[in-house]
Amino acid sequence: MNTHAPQIIQLVKNERGVYAPMVAGALLMFLGILGLTIDIGQALVAKNELHNTADAAALAGTRHLATLYEALPASAQSTFQLSTTDETAIKNLAVAVGTENTTRGTAVQILPADVQVGRWSNTNRTFTPGLTTPNAVRVLTKRDPSVGAGGISTFIARAFNVTSINVSAFATAALTGPAVTPPGGLDTPFGISSFRFSTTY
């Protein structure tokens, strides 16, 4: 007769209580991953919206800059000095574009200080702020405490005391001359068989 069987069965029954904290820990980890996925996804969508707005604002500012050059004779364009009045007009255009676009349902607030006029170098891929012969406009869009809307509100991450995520994006639009392609530099997207020209019907 096995006198140890009841004791073994009792030990197995007592192990059931061990799983409760394990399940709780796994659930907490799952919620953390879920929150990270949802909130980071929201931030990425917001960043894309901010980037689209920055693109539009930079293009609007550069379009105005182009009209200033168009009003000048060719001899004066190489020494053009942008006035502070025209710089302000460019900034105001960019700011106005922001109010016409939204990120996560809230109008984008572009600060005048986040709109820069300067020169873009195609060779170095760099932007240098300045008012002497400017050819580009750079715009920064953001959702953080410096603008009225603040950061992007979180959902699940609030349980971990993370109430918002700061997001930003920038875009640069530049004036460029017409591209010049040497003969034979581009493939013709269609073709006509020489048979059509060499055959007599």
Question: Tokens at residue 145, please?
Answer: 């405490």
Report yes or no on 16 lying in a domain. Answer: no
Tell me what pLDDT residue 149 has.
Answer: 87
The half-sphere exposure of 52 on its side-chain side, counting CA atoms within 13 A, is 13
**From CA 61, how far away is CA 197, in angstroms rounded?**
51
Total number of domains constituting the chain = 1
Output the tens digit of pLDDT for each of the chain's 201 residues: 555 555 555 555 555 556 667 777 777 777 767 767 888 889 999 999 999 999 999 999 999 999 999 999 989 999 999 999 999 999 999 999 999 999 988 999 999 999 999 999 988 999 999 999 999 999 999 999 999 889 998 887 787 788 899 999 999 999 987 666 677 666 665 656 666 666 665
Residue numbers of the domain that contains 41: 23-176
Report yes or no on 67 lying in a domain. Answer: yes
Give me the count of residues in the chain.
201
Report yes or no on 186 lying in a domain. Answer: no
Tell me what pLDDT residue 139 has.
Answer: 98
User: Which residue is listed with tokens 């040497």?
Assistant: 182
**From CA 88, how far away is CA 90, in angstroms rounded?**
5
Report yes or no on 4 lying in a domain. Answer: no
**89 φ, ψ (degrees, to nearest 5):** -65, -40
**From CA 169, how far away is CA 113, in angstroms rounded?**
15
**Amino acid identity at 35:** G
Report yes or no on 2 lying in a domain. Answer: no
Report yes or no on 139 lying in a domain. Answer: yes
Tell me what pLDDT residue 111 has.
Answer: 97
Going by the DSSP 8-state scheme, the letter that residue 154 receives in this structure is: P
Tell me what pLDDT residue 24 has.
Answer: 73
**From CA 30, how far away is CA 120, in angstroms rounded?**
47
Tell me what pLDDT residue 197 has.
Answer: 63
Report yes or no on 64 lying in a domain. Answer: yes
